[in-house]
Copies of this chain bind each other. A is one copy, B any other.
Amino acid sequence: MINVEIISIGDELLIGQTINTNASWMGAQLAANGIKVSHVVTISDTWEAITGALQEADKRSQVVLITGGLGPTKDDITKQVLCSYFDTKLVLNESVLNHVESFFIKRNRPMLEVNKMQAMVPEACEVLFNEQGTAPGMLFEKNETIFVSMPGVPYEMKYLMEAHVIPRLRAKFPLKKLVQKTYLTQGIGESFLAEKLSDWENHLRDEGLDLAYLPSPGMVKLRISSSSGDQDRVAHYGEELKKMIPVYLYGEEEETLPEVVGKLLTVKGETIGTVESCTGGSIMASLTSVSGSSAYVLGGFITYSNDLKIKLAHVGSETLEDFGAVSEETVLEMAAGGKKELGVDWCISVSGIAGPLGGSDEKPVGTVWIAIDGPKSKISRKFLFGTDRQRTVQMTVLTALNLLRCEILGINIEKKQD
């Protein structure tokens, strides 16, 4: 077991302005590769603090991952400290300079002297190319210890970890590959899922596998893992799981719901549009977050006001008067009108009370009606998503997309949601 240490540099972390999500992400990625982080040390952007942290890490760890302190502004001194610690000097790296220049040309912005500085790297280090930004990763080896310095910007750090650091560690150290597969569910809470799966879960554990429930907003990830690297067993139980909960299980690993429905629509050569009220365009924003979605997404109406529900989606004014904007009748008319006016095969419509204001005893805050009007079928469902505005919108988006997935696949959804 190797000792891996993370050094997070930045005052914003110490004064609580920024939460250290980088360290958590790195810890989780490394754990998935059978590497456990032993220390996370967060320090200020000062010469003494950085030097001290390097010395302590040097004593106890074989791998030291440093993030932060590489930006262009003057308070970033990490590179100078690294030079002195590894007894080397800054030299201009041509390939980094070219990358930085093209980075600014692409964005059609002038390059400043401070940006040129980012191409100055310690002579003793190996440069790790940073596709996502201007500050390169820097790898040092001292005695038996590997030091890697990365920018603190999350997507730059993640790129460097995935493209360079984790592959290096896997190559250098004999790591028992933990085999794991993640399955994604929507529309059922952790405890209900655990109840549904309890027998199956016991059986899985009897065979030496592990099951983890990883809830995140609006969904629960199920991770089946084998610490003995038993790929086949993991896959076998994964297939069983798919058959057990088809209504909830929508994908695997990094798949997203808009990707999943996008693939289904592409295969069928069918198009989609939306008529959104309380989600204000979030369902369409989610659908179009997928590259290439223009192949099946035509567009939509955001009918926040009742007048636009009538004018754009041709909802009857009597319908709005008799049943209200948040009603089964209204969403069904929204979906039908949108399908016709947008000229799409599938139309999702939603109307609800996102809150925190506007609720009533009959229709409390969090009440959302969703309808889907498709080539052969139409459905409508009512949900209660609680009092948090952002969460209600998020839950509505995920629920609508999962309903669409089930409709396209012809999976029958029981009226009652558990």
Q: Which chain A residues have a beta carbon within 8 Å of chain B's beta carbons?
A: 11-21, 23-29, 31, 36-44, 49, 52, 56, 60, 71-74, 106-110, 112, 114-115, 132, 155, 189-192, 194-195, 212-215, 223, 274, 276, 278-285, 287-289, 291-294, 297-305, 307-308, 312, 342-343, 354-357, 364, 366, 384-391, 393, 418
B residues within 8 A CB of A385? 107
Given known contacts A191-B114, A298-B304, A308-B299, is B21 in contact with A27 (CB within 8 Å)? no
B291–A281 CB distance below 8 A = no
Given contacts A13-B24, A13-B40, A14-B40, 10 further A-B pairs with CB under 8 A are A16-B26, A19-B19, A23-B42, A38-B49, A106-B364, A281-B282, A288-B304, A291-B355, A299-B305, A300-B301
Q: How far is the CA of A27 from the CA of B44 in the complex (A)?
A: 12
A11–B212 CB distance below 8 A = yes
Partner of A281, one of B27, B107, B132, B280: B280
Partner of A384, one of B107, B190, B388: B107
B residues within 8 A CB of A189? 109
Nearest-Cβ distance from residue A270 to partner chain B, whole angstroms: 14
Q: How far is the CA of A109 from the CA of B189 in the complex (A)?
A: 10
5 closest A-B pairs by beta carbon, nearest first, are A281-B281, A16-B28, A280-B288, A16-B27, A40-B42
Q: Which residue of B lies closest to A192 (CB)?
A: B112
Nearest-Cβ distance from residue A315 to partner chain B, whole angstroms: 12
Q: Which residue of B lies closest to A60 (CB)?
A: B52
B40–A73 CB distance below 8 A = no
A386–B31 CB distance below 8 A = no
B residues within 8 A CB of A18? 24, 214
Q: How far is the CA of A195 from the CA of B111 in the complex (A)?
A: 12
B16–A31 CB distance below 8 A = yes
B residues within 8 A CB of A16? 23-29, 31
Q: Which residue of B lies closest to A43 (CB)?
A: B39
B108–A384 CB distance below 8 A = yes
